[in-house]
Amino acid sequence: MKTGRNRKRASQGAGCLLLAAAPRTDFLESGGITVLRNLAGMVCAGQPPSCFGGPAGFIAVTGDRPWQEVEWRSEGKRVSRGGLALEWSDGEGKLRLRTEWRKLGPDGVVERRDFLLNSGSKPVRLRKCLSAFVLAADRYEVCVQSSRWSEENQCEWLDAGSAAIEMASEGRTTHGGAPYCSLRRKDGTGGIAFHIVPKGNWVFRLQPDTRSHRPGPVAVEAGLSDRRLELLLKPGERISLPSIIIQGLPMGRIEAGAAVLHRAVFEEYPGRIRREVPIPYNTWFHRFDRIEPALLEPQIAAAAEIGCEVFVVDAGWYGHGHRPWYEMVGDWRENETSAFMGRMKELAARVKSVGLGFGLWIEPERISAHVVQEKRLSAGAVRTRAGQFYPDLAEPMVWRAVRDQIAGLIERYELGWVKIDHNHDLEPDPRGSELFRYSESLARLVEAIKSAYPRTVLEGCASGGLRMDINTLSLFDTHFLSDTVDPVDELRIGQGLALRAPLCRAAKWIVLAPADVTFRAYSSETSESRIVVAPRDAGWGRCQSVDADFAMLCALPGMPGFSGDIAGLTLETRRRAALFVSFVKKWRRQSATAPVSLLTPWAPLTDRSGWVAMQTHMSGGAEMLLAYRLNDPRGSMAVKPVGLDPNAAYSVSAWDGSVLSGRKTGRQLMEEGVRIELRAFGAAAVVMERCSDA
């Protein structure tokens, strides 16, 4: 992790330590204790009561005193170029706490990291270890995100002043809810967002002070879940708890925080980003787990024709016999009685002969009950409440076995892509750590595979986006956004993701199939139709006709891939797909760490009306505007970009190469906007390139 570039020394003076100027984060020196005074532009409650973590802002409960919170004593501070570190002890020689604060990026985003050390001679059992923040008395409302299968990242505003509010995860970090919480003053004068970078299960808990009829302070607890926590800390052991990223929200607008957060995250994880992720074709939405060579041959040729770079075989290639794919997970031998009949290496060779890499889907964190019984697996397999099993990765022998399984597949089939899925919740945790130990072991596993096979892309997935957070997006090369591949769903779910994680790292599939009857859309200027069929859900249960350009452009911002029956598409549609793929390849390196601004307000999944506009701030002086007209009577919209150099000249062109206007200054573009005309459910991508000779 970086600590030098773009970091400023916390300034001292008049009893104040300044970490970030705007939005302001500073600390007050009072009686030898350093207390948080302002946090991301929001006023804090001075010295908070001990029940809210006291001046340390940290709530800890141990097993020997479950009725009493640890009372922390200040052991001093250290001001450095990287920020500020505060030291605390429990006064009994059992626990030491180190809280590190630092600024991430240039926009006032700050990160808090807490470290606990067992400084005693006996084990300590932790039942609670949460960061705490107390905002000054005011009238607040809070935004939280629900997250369900194919309905991820859905925001909901709640009143924060009347009762306690709790959001938590169990088993997967974004199943049920997302580790994101924002508060804003009801008068619209300011807001703040908290992001947990999870390690295992997490919890947000908001507790208003309701002892008076007037608005009181609001305490925010955040970090490792304490629902069933029994985390054993050995003598001398030091753990790094989930970090908390905090940012201000101008005027309380949640959309205003998206690009700012993305810049901060990329500041934190600069060396872990794969700059060029190849464009895949995945077999799943063609015939699901029916993956016979004769069915796949046309798709291999079509994938190569439109410019895809890797061909990924999804679930169904493994196991033994003719059981459903989900009953064979955990048996990662090639199936010799179905699918490729033991001849998958021949298919891989065919794929490579047309210039494509070869990839496979696996689910290494699940073992079906059938496989456990058939292979007599018991050691290291943990039974979940749903009757499935998962490998206990915190056990070294199990960790090595899973690593060797994945490595063996990569080497045997020379895999250029591994899609790592995760379709069940890992409860209970036999170690009582709320999956903290498991999460750290999983991170080591993924890093070990990436280090050993740097050319192999690792795609994360969890029934779509049910384990999609800042941590997994930095750990995997890309992560599947959602199992629903409805283009409008991808837009809405992507808007919600952008509030809490970099949208440009999300994998989005373009799933297309030909209509049964070829027809030309009314008023179309082409001789062949670009109207195709796309799913309205996660499994072809409902279908819709869409314009192919709209479906493809809905995969931006992000990392596009294809699925479905692309071989059956018309020649014109495949030509447009090839043009789109070329466009993505041209700009993907500049987009790999591009912050995304939401130019229109977030809207729920059910809202299929209005316009959606986003801006991708690419490196190298280029910007990309993306506009989508949904069910809206307005046929045009002036999309106003943000963050341009007002004095620089820009050329403006569409994604398919057509020039939209001559040179304009950044000031003109930001004031006048780019006028985009679209029919209903149409999309446009516009690139604004800074002129080199300006």
Sign of CA dihedral 128, 134, 140, 145: negative
Distance (Å, whole) CA 45 – CA 218: 9
Which superfamily is assigned to 598-690 in CATH?
Golgi alpha-mannosidase II (2.60.40.1180)
Residue 633: is its pLDDT beyond 70?
Answer: yes
Higher pLDDT, 517 or 612: 612
In whole numbers, what is the pLDDT of the chain averaged over residues? 92
At residue 211 the predicted structure's pLDDT band, cuts being 50, 70 and 90, is: confident
pLDDT at 657: 85
Look at 158-172, 294-308, 414-428 and tell me which has the smallest mean pLDDT.
158-172
Q: What is the CATH architecture assignment of 11-252?
A: Distorted Sandwich (2.70)
- Burial-class residue 672 by CB neighbours within 10 Å (0-12, 13-18, 19+): exposed
Is 232:64 a contact under the CB 8 Å cutoff?
Answer: no
- Residue for token pair 């107390």: 134
Rounded distance between C-alpha atoms, residue 513 and residue 63, angstroms: 58
CA distances from 507 to 483, 557, 592 (A): 11, 9, 12
The pLDDT of residue 196: 98
Residue 575 host element (H or E): helix 571-591
Q: What is the pLDDT of residue 662?
A: 75
Yes or no: say if 390 and 367 are a contact pair by the CB < 8 Å rule.
yes
- Residue 679: name the closest of 609, 628, 606 by CA: 628
442-455: average pLDDT: 97
Residues 6+ apart with CB under 8 A from 566: 281, 299, 302, 303, 306, 512, 574, 577
State mean pLDDT over 390-408: 97
* Residues 6 or more apart in contact with residue 140 via CB below 8 angstroms: 160, 161, 183, 184, 185, 186, 208, 215, 218
Domain 11-252 shares a fold with domain 598-690: no
Q: Is the pLDDT of residue 123 over 60?
A: yes
CATH topology of domain 273-379+414-426+457-586: TIM Barrel (3.20.20)
Average pLDDT estimate for 192-197: 98
- What ranges do the domains of the chain cover? 11-252, 273-379+414-426+457-586, 598-690
How far apart CA 192 and CA 23 sit, in angstroms, is: 10
What's the mean pLDDT in 60-83?
90
Give 69 or 527, the one with higher predicted confidence: 69
Q: What is the pLDDT of residue 455?
A: 97
At 579, which helix (H) or strand (E)? helix 571-591
Give the bridge partners for 615, in sequence order.
Answer: 597, 625
Q: For the chain, how big is the Rg over CA atoms in Å?
A: 26
Q: Which tens digits make up the pLDDT trace of 643-675? A: 999 999 999 999 998 767 778 999 999 999 999
Cα-to-chain-centroid distance, residue 176: 15
Q: Is residue 425 within 8 Å of 168, Cβ to Cβ?
A: no
The CB-side HSE value for 152 (13 A sphere, CA atoms) comes to: 37
Interatomic CA distance for residues 469 and 462, integer angstroms: 11
pLDDT confidence of 259, banded at 50, 70, 90? very high
- pLDDT tens across 370-379, in order? 999 877 766 8
Q: Lowest mean pLDDT: which of 111-120, 219-228, 343-352, 535-544? A: 535-544
SS3 256: helix
**H-type alpha helices, 432-570:** 436-452, 470-475, 487-498, 548-553
